[in-house]
Amino acid sequence: MPDLPPRKIIHVDMDAFYASVEQRDDPALRGAPLAVAWGGRRSVVLTASYEARPFGVRSAMPLYRALERCPDLVVVPPRFEAYREVSRQIRAVFQTFTPLVEPLSLDEAYLDVTAPLRGGPSATRIAQAIRADIRAQTGLSATAGISVNKFLAKLASGMNKPDGLTVILPDQVRALLDALPVGDFHGVGPATAAKLAGMGIHTGADLRAAPEAALRDRFGVHGAHFSRIARGLDDRPVQPDRPHKSIGAEETYADDLRGVPAVLERLPILAAQVQRRLEHAGLTARTVVLKLKFSDRSVITRRVTLPHPVSAAPDLTRAAARLLTPELLLGRSVRLAGITAASLVPAGQQPTQPLLLGG
């Protein structure tokens, strides 16, 4: 087959989105270390402002730990309707440049501008125009990464935040990826990085040199994906919105979790991820599913149907916690935990405050 012309992919990521909206709307918050989170010890930080990050405060961190690191941290509850409205404004900007927009959350998306509606042939100039239009319409800053595929564009957007723009050209890919720690590859979490390290794979160069068959044996279909991204290859298309049947999040742990308390401690982090994805999709859930994979590789799921649809992380956490019992574990250690939201319905049908579940 003849070589196709290189694609032009932009990854746009808003800077500390929830916190930036709060600081925009309340001048008293500007310049302060800020976290957006529900209250309560089990809550997690949804977004931290850049003023909070030097203290080590990060998204998905338990709120109590964030307050330990930054006692002067200002905590405000999320206002998802405000975030959705700004997200709609941002999406409208994207659509003036290309119909090929794949949102990943309320605050980030891929755009394919290989054949743009306006802006000319330069992806760099289009990204500059998008960032300028977003700032003009919302007062917020966005960071953009540009390259020939989704993997490289997302990598580029993480290299110069906040309010930055980075281009990765084809002739830069090998040197850049070879020097990159495998834990910095998008899609390689701490547990996978630890497994790769156990195979003697620490950098992109190590990953590129590893036989694909060995990676497949260790990681299944993901092994083939790792082999490709180590070479900067990613042929996934930019896909506009598709309907969701369920929305979930799961994590494989480098060290197995032992006992109910250890698993309970991880549920709020998973719930926060599910909440963000539900809010992005404008959906709520009537059913919450808990998934556990044990060290013997056996998997179980349990589900509960709620009296009202929910999307807030505290509600998702409580529902999943109700399903987690010592009898469920039977003394087994947990390698993976996940929370899935199912029986999805449009947002607007849930209570304005978190639903308080017994148990």
Active site residues: 108
DSSP letters spanning 129-167: HHHHHHHHHHS--EEEEEESSHHHHHHHHTSS-SS-EEE
Identity (one letter) of the amino acid at 267? L
Can you tell me the distance from the alpha carbon of 295 to that of 253, in angstroms, rounded to the nearest whole number? 11
Q: 13 among the known binding-site residues? A: yes
Phi, psi of 19 (to 5 degrees): -65, -40
Can you tell me the distance from the alpha carbon of 82 to that of 59, in angstroms, rounded to the nearest whole number? 19
What residues form DSSP beta bridges with 346?
Answer: 283
Token digits of residue 137:
């319409």
Q: In what order do the strands lie in the sheet with 142-147?
A: 101-105, 108-112, 9-14, 142-147, 165-167
**Cβ proximity of 139 and 4 under 8 Å:** no
Collapsed DSSP state (helix, strand, coil) of residue 232: coil
Q: 256 among the known binding-site residues? A: no
Comparing C-alpha atoms, which of 220, 189, 215, 181 is closest to residue 336?
A: 189
**Known binding site for Mg(2+): residues?**
13, 107
- Binding residues, as ranges, are 13, 107
